[in-house]
Amino acid sequence: MLLSEIARASTEVAAEPGRKAKVSALAGVLRAAGPRDAAVVVAYLSGELPQRQIGVGYASLRDLPAAAREPSLTVAEVHAAFSEIRAVSGAGSVARRRELVHAVFARATLAEQQFLVRLLSGELRQGALDGVMTDAVATAAGVPLAEVRRAVMLRGALGPVAAAALADEADGGGVPALRGFTLEVGRPVRPMLAASAPSVAEALGKIDGPAAVEWKLDGVRAQIHVRGGEVRVFTRTLDEITDRLPEVTGVLGALPVQDAVFDGELIALREDGRPHPFQITAARTATRTRKEGPQVPLSLFLFDVLRLDGVDLLDHPDAERHAALAGAVPAELLMPRTVTADVAEAEAVFADAVARGHEGVVVKSPATPYAAGRRGAGWIKVKPRHTLDLVVLAVEWGHGRRRGFLSNLHLGARDPETGGFVMLGKTFKGLTDELLAWQTEKLRDLAVEEDSYTVRVRPELVVEIAFDGLQTSPRYPAGLALRFARVLRYRPDKKAEDADTIDTVRALAPVID
């Protein structure tokens, strides 16, 4: 498949305002790509690289060669070139990488060059997010959407699923191929996520009968795979962090289980059981090499099990999964949990969790299966303050004592319909001197355009924002603005697609105004 077809499709999808039209346009190009190129096409039209990073950023895409007159560059050739660029290292790597980049761009037409620049700089936002692209794969292959969703859940990536779905059934593709994806120990799946409610009473009201009320910790999500004493730990973004957590692997490696996939939370606790600041937990899990000397230990709290001793439990109800979990691990490794239908009792659990320094609670339906990769209605989180995970869209230079630092953040919620972001306001509150210095360096690396006042950045950095309420505002496209917004922390464990949506914000408006 020619790259020009992908570039044209990207432009068409960006111009379509509605979800159905985007799905139809994407399905057309996926059918044309076929199973051979499908995985790469899905990645490119989702604004991603199969290689994730190849060492080429916006600053490297200046002074490009003249564009080719006619399209000749194929998707497969671009993919191979990017893989070669990613492998470059050592002395002279910068010059060699630049040489290879220019070789690709010299064969690209102007439209293809523009597409590649946006792809490599993280600026390709035409609305082909995971949900839209998943629908497009099902439409292109003529298979049930539920089959594609489940395969993606189990495989953890849409590209290979698209290739399997688009292959002919006579060649082992289609629905049979999708059903061939199973939960494998050692290969992470996307975690189940929770919806939000402003109160424990409202959360309980959404669940029929008694509910499980568990602590919600201010930690790092961990999916733990165990087989024959070997332990592997993955984050919510499916990155492996096993080598950074010897205290965790040691405990779980000694469990008397044949194989297992656990879901839980890692957190650094003080001697009195209260949590350290989130940054301490994040620093432990973000360290790429083990440091010498003493480190703050992490505690593990498990709240779910997806597989145990050869049995997949994803489709089993929460109550059965938790019973299996409780029978397999020591009580001190379990997340505190109370099953009740009484609002007063559930609120007491909530108050106790907050008093201990934790974020709040998660209210769970005992009947819900594990909806990997989705925000299931069976899990509902409740916090004592209003918070949103938003994306930094731009930032303004500071004044006075903040001169020389990037300070005032432009904040946006994700729009699932367009794939873009909707600005909800600005804030410079809650920033320590350390955080100011960190965000200045980080946001300069993400910059795509700037003047003497404002720096526009790639929408990749997720920040947790506390706010006192929402108000109507004609200044912002959603007609809503945050009141008294302030930075709580950055979320390096989350991607932009994990940020809260504008639909979530609108749903909160009548509750907290």
Nearest partner of 414 among 132, 207, 106, 68, judged by Cα: 132
381 is annotated as an active-site residue: no
Main-chain dihedrals φ then ψ at residue 484, nearest 5 degrees: 55, 50
The whole-angstrom separation of Cα 142 and Cα 158 is 16
Pairing status of strand 193-196 against strand 375-382 = parallel
Burial code (b: 16+ CB inside 10 Å, e: under 16) for 229-268 equals eebbbbbbeeeebeebbeebbebbeebebebbbbbbbbbb
The whole-angstrom separation of Cα 44 and Cα 79 is 10
Catalytic hit among 20, 22, 206, 216:
216
Structure-token pair, residue 191: 């975690």
Main-chain dihedrals φ then ψ at residue 453, nearest 5 degrees: -120, -40
Cα-based distances in Å from 160 to 25, 38, 40, 177, 236: 20, 8, 9, 11, 20
Nearest partner of 191 among 264, 244, 137, judged by Cα: 264
Structure-token pair, residue 464: 């947790």
Cα-based distances in Å from 478 to 253, 395, 507: 50, 20, 12
Q: Which amino acid is at 232?
A: R
Provide the 8-state DSSP code for 333.
G
* 342 neighbors 202 (Cβ within 8 angstroms): no
Question: Under 8 Å CB-to-CB from 278, ≥6 apart: which residues?
Answer: 218, 219, 489
Helix (H/G/I), strand (E/B), else coil: 401? helix
Supply the residues annotated as catalytic: 216
